[in-house]
């Protein structure tokens, strides 16, 4: 188990910022947290790292209680650039992280090269652009090869080539076994990183987004729509019928096979199947438009 | 912990503000040294003074000699001035040869007479009999320890707590003109520097120097404290490292300032005498001397503890108001008010006053026991001061830590 969050609530002043957040991550993957401003993404990360106290619920990270500070040897949190000390150089920051994380100082140059910030390693942060600060934050977050990397809006202020480089680094880290939880508004970039997206709204992870993450959308043309609907209702599959009389539903591969078998056994002929991978933007619009209209 | 201390030091020292204040501190010490150097009375000045007096005496003798009504009284007066001139010549000659013993012996003989002639303590004279005795004993100490005196050393060269009543401002001005308050030898300069620097003003300077140690972390505002909080570090270590770094840097700055003062003296004058006598008041109009070196060390120790007390307030306000300027202002207001209220007659008269930490900001007066003398309570000792300052600092710091833990979330 990498992360286990159970019924997490957080109240700030009189407002509930997190309301029963619940999820598990059991194997290394990249998980995106997507939601409008104020939906509780940063608060979730802050609670997971004990920067904020919680009102109720449990959080376990790498099989340990989230309050255990020794977790930070294996967990990194890339935060807002306000955490940087303006009068110190990038080198000063990295040297400190290196020494606390008990990493050799050779790692400083190594990670600076990886991130592409060797040229301004010795410059004070106050002379950095937004993008340079993001580079430094990334370097600080990955210098200890974390098992879990939490990233709050890491793509802010990055130019296209930096964003590409960051994506490359994140995919490399994922390949190396790091679980990455990333919050971002850049849905295109999220799409390039992962299919696993937790959509958040009003302090909750939308249940449907949990069920359907890493899913595809299926469009079935059937010979008998009425019968197909009856049979699908028997299976308790949630579906819709679009204007082209196609049966549309989300599922993973296994359930899809169950649906096909069930329809076939009940003499519903599936004439054509169209499978679409659901983009983050589309899912976002679907989920949020629906919740707004509801 | 070491990495935290190093990081904290970098955060403090790598700011232009800190560098400017340190340069200002060392410039002040240097200018104060120049001021003392210029005003130091050296052998040449001593001889010049004697020559001036001598020439006045000679003019008087001439005037008395040409007076038509030359009589026995005049002759006696002329004889007196001739003797005085001979003594002045002898003293000038001694100064020319750096023969301090001759000069000291002369002043001791004079002092002995004055002490004998001093009326009882109930009769007010200026300077008081106490002061004459102090000067006499001081000169004896200088002679016994073979110490080069800091001029002037005559009977009116000391102002003690018993003398600080002046009929007019002019008398006060004249009195302070006689008073030996300048010397550029290393040890004595350091002693003088302590007099001007180790007080509430000096403490305020250090508050400005370290005013943003805690506030720069932007506690509760997603500031750099969140970076430290997401490192494998205990929160008490974070706040503790700030205090230790501040205290260590304070120690180093005090040490460096003292060494700079000593160095200036050595380069441009002389080292001076570690065992130069400093007056310490005792009850019942008695006194003793403390070696100047010990006095300097004790002063620096007490000031250091006073600074820890000031930092504890600074830390408390830092976690409460989280804004540097307001933190410094509130700390200064607390310290100044505390100092004023505690230092008032009512404040010093309270039974627990010797355990009130605000009473220990006048470093010089505490160690010389002048504070105890004027408060008529000899429980105002450096050790009571250190005890009360440390205990109250600990309580305030502990409260600050609890608030920090609460506010950080």
Q: Write the residue in B7, B229, B234 that is nearest to A96 by C-beta.
A: B7
Distance from CA of B130 to the nearest CA of A (A): 57
**B234 → chain A, closest CA residue:** A69
B235/B253 same-domain check: yes
Mean pLDDT (whole number) for A225-245: 82
User: Dihedral (C-alpha) B46, B47, B49, B51: value to the nearest 10 degrees?
Assistant: 170
> CB distance B218–A82 less than 8 Å?
yes
Does residue B237 belong to the interface with chain A, where contact is any CB pair within 8 Å? no
Distance from CA of A93 to the nearest CA of B (A): 8
Residue B239's pLDDT is 82
B378 within a domain of the structure (yes/no): yes
CA distance A187 to A96: 34
Mean pLDDT (whole number) for A19-29: 85
From B181, B206, B233, the end of a domain falls on B181
Residue A294's pLDDT is 45
In chain A, residues with a C-beta closer than 8 Å to the C-beta of B14 are: 87-88, 92, 124
> CB distance B10–A88 less than 8 Å?
yes
B7 within a domain of the structure (yes/no): yes
B245/B117 same-domain check: no
Confidence label for A16 from pLDDT (cuts 50, 70 and 90): confident
CATH 3.40.50.300: does it fit domain A3-211?
Answer: yes
Q: Please give the CATH number for the structural domain made up of A216-277.
A: 3.30.70.100
**B11 → chain A, closest CA residue:** A88
CA distance A52 to A67: 10
Distance from CA of B341 to the nearest CA of A (A): 40
CA distance A137 to A109: 15
Residue B123's pLDDT is 63
B155/B9 same-domain check: no
Residue B121's pLDDT is 54
- Using the Cα atoms of residue B59, residue B64, residue B65 and residue B66 in order, give the sign of their dihedral: positive
> CB distance B10–A92 less than 8 Å?
yes
B169/B71 same-domain check: no
> CB distance B232–A71 less than 8 Å?
yes
B137/B215 same-domain check: no
CA distance B362 to B198: 8
Q: Write the residue in B3, B4, B224 that is nearest to A84 by C-beta.
A: B224
Distance from CA of A10 to the nearest CA of B (A): 12
B103 within a domain of the structure (yes/no): no
For tokens 């010389």, the residue is: B368
CA distance A50 to A80: 16
Does residue B409 belong to the interface with chain A, where contact is any CB pair within 8 Å? yes
B30/B59 same-domain check: no
Tell me the longest C-alpha to C-alpha distance in chain A. 73
DSSP state of B212: T
Sequence-distant (6+) residues with CB within 8 A of A193 are A30, A32, A167, A170, A171, A180, A182
Q: Write the residue in A69, A82, A96 that is nearest to B3 by C-beta.
A: A96
B46/B28 same-domain check: no
Does residue B17 belong to the interface with chain A, where contact is any CB pair within 8 Å? no
In chain A, residues under CATH classification 3.40.50.300 are 3-211
Residue A254 has pLDDT above 60, yes or no: no
From B151, B181, B211, the end of a domain falls on B181
In chain A, residues under CATH classification 3.30.70.100 are 216-277
Residue B126's pLDDT is 73
Does residue A50 belong to the interface with chain B, where contact is any CB pair within 8 Å? yes
Does residue B405 belong to the interface with chain A, where contact is any CB pair within 8 Å? no
Phi/psi for B231 (5° steps) reads -110, 155
B281/B390 same-domain check: yes
| Burial (Cβ within 10 Å: 0-12, 13-18, ≥19) of residue A76 | buried
The DSSP H or E segment spanning B255 is helix B235-268
Does residue A100 belong to the interface with chain B, where contact is any CB pair within 8 Å? yes
Tell me the longest C-alpha to C-alpha distance in chain B. 100
From B165, B181, B197, the end of a domain falls on B181
B128/B220 same-domain check: no
Does residue B293 belong to the interface with chain A, where contact is any CB pair within 8 Å? no
Distance from CA of B395 to the nearest CA of A (A): 26
Does residue B66 belong to the interface with chain A, where contact is any CB pair within 8 Å? no
Distance from CA of B286 to the nearest CA of A (A): 56
Residue B41's pLDDT is 86
CA distance A167 to A159: 12
Does residue B224 belong to the interface with chain A, where contact is any CB pair within 8 Å? yes
The proportion of chain A whose per-residue pLDDT surpasses 70, expressed as a percent, equals 90
B22/B120 same-domain check: no
| Segments of chain B scoring below 70 in pLDDT | 66-73, 119-124, 180, 218-221, 407-409
Does residue B220 belong to the interface with chain A, where contact is any CB pair within 8 Å? no
CA distance A255 to A84: 48
Distance from CA of B28 to the nearest CA of A (A): 26
C-alpha A118, offset from chain centre: 29
Residue A202's pLDDT is 81
Q: Give the domain extent around B281.
A: 2-38+187-407
pTM summary value: 0.79
> CB distance A70–B409 less than 8 Å?
no
The shares of helix, strand and coil residues in chain B, as percent rounded to the nearest 5, are 70, 5, 25
B163/B292 same-domain check: no
Residue A54's pLDDT is 87
Helix axis angle for B72-96 and B43-66, nearest 10°, is 160
In chain B, residues with a C-beta closer than 8 Å to the C-beta of A88 are: 10-11, 14
Average pLDDT of every residue of chain A = 83
C-alpha B313, offset from chain centre: 24
């Amino acid at each position: 188990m990498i992360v286990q969050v159970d019924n997490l609530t957080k109240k700030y002043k009189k407002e509930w910022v997190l309301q029963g957040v619940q999820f598990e991550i059991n194997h290394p993957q990249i998980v995106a947290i997507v939601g409008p401003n104020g939906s509780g993404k940063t608060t979730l990360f802050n609670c997971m790292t004990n920067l904020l106290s919680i009102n109720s619920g449990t959080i376990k990270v790498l099989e340990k209680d989230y309050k255990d500070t020794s977790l930070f040897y294996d967990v990194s949190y890339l935060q807002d650039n306000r955490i940087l000390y303006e009068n110190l150089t990038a080198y000063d920051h990295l040297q400190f992280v290196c020494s606390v994380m008990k990493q050799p100082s050779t790692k400083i140059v190594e990670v600076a090269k990886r991130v592409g910030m060797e040229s301004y390693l010795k410059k004070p942060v106050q002379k950095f652009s937004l993008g340079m600060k993001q580079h430094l934050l990334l370097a600080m977050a990955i210098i200890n090869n974390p098992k879990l990397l939490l990233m709050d809006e890491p793509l802010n202020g990055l130019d296209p080539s930096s964003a590409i480089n960051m994506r490359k680094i994140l995919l490399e880290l994922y390949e190396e076994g790091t679980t990455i939880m990333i919050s971002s508004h850049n849905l295109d970039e999220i799409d390039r990183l992962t299919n696993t997206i937790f959509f958040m709204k009003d302090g909750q992870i939308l249940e449907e987004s949990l069920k359907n993450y890493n899913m595809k959308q299926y469009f079935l043309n059937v010979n008998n729509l009425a019968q197909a609907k009856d049979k699908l209702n028997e299976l308790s599959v949630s579906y819709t019928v679009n204007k082209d009389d196609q049966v549309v539903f989300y599922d993973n591969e296994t359930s899809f096979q169950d649906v096909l078998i069930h329809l076939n056994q009940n003499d519903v002929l599936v004439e054509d199947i169209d499978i679409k991978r659901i983009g983050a933007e589309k899912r976002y619009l679907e989920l949020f438009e629906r919740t707004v209209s509801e | 912990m070491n990495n935290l201390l190093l990081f904290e030091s970098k955060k403090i020292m790598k700011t232009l503000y800190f560098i400017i204040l340190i340069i200002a501190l060392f410039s002040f010490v240097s200018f104060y040294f120049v001021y003392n150097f210029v005003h130091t009375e050296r052998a040449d000045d001593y001889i010049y003074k004697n020559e001036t007096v001598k020439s006045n005496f000679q003019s008087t003798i001439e005037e008395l000699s040409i007076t038509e009504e030359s009589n026995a009284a005049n002759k006696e007066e002329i004889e007196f001035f001739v003797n005085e001139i001979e003594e002045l010549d002898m003293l000038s000659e001694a100064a020319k040869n750096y023969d301090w013993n001759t000069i000291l012996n002369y002043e001791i003989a004079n002092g002995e007479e004055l002490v004998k002639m001093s009326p009882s303590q109930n009769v007010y004279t200026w300077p008081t009999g106490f002061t004459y005795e102090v000067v006499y004993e001081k000169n004896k100490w200088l002679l016994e320890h073979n110490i080069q005196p800091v001029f002037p050393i005559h009977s009116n060269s000391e102002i003690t707590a018993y003398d600080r009543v002046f009929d007019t401002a002019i008398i006060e001005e004249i009195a302070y003109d006689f008073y030996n308050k300048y010397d550029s030898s290393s040890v004595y300069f350091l002693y003088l520097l302590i007099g001007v620097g180790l007080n509430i003003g000096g403490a305020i300077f250090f508050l400005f120097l370290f005013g943003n140690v805690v506030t720069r972390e932007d506690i509760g505002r997603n500031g750099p404290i969140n970076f430290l909080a997401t490192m494998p570090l205990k929160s008490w270590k974070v706040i503790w490292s700030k205090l230790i770094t501040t205290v260590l840097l304070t120690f180093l700055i005090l040490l460096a300032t003292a060494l700079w003062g000593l160095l200036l003296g050595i380069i441009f004058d002389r080292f001076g005498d570690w065992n130069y006598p400093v007056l310490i008041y005792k009850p019942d109009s008695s006194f003793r001397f403390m070696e100047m070196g010990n006095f300097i060390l004790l002063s620096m120790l007490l000031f250091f503890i006073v600074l820890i007390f000031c930092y504890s307030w600074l830390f408390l306000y830092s976690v409460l108001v989280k804004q540097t300027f307001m933190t410094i202002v509130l700390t200064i207001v607390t310290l100044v008010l505390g100092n004023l209220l505690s230092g008032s007659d009512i404040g010093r008269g309270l039974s627990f006053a010797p355990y009130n930490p605000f009473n220990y900001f006048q470093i010089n007066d505490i160690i010389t026991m002048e504070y105890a003398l004027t408060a008529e309570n000899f429980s105002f000792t450096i050790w009571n001061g250190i005890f009360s300052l440390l205990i109250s600092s600990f309580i305030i710091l502990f409260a600050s830590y609890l608030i920090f833990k609460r506010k950080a979330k």
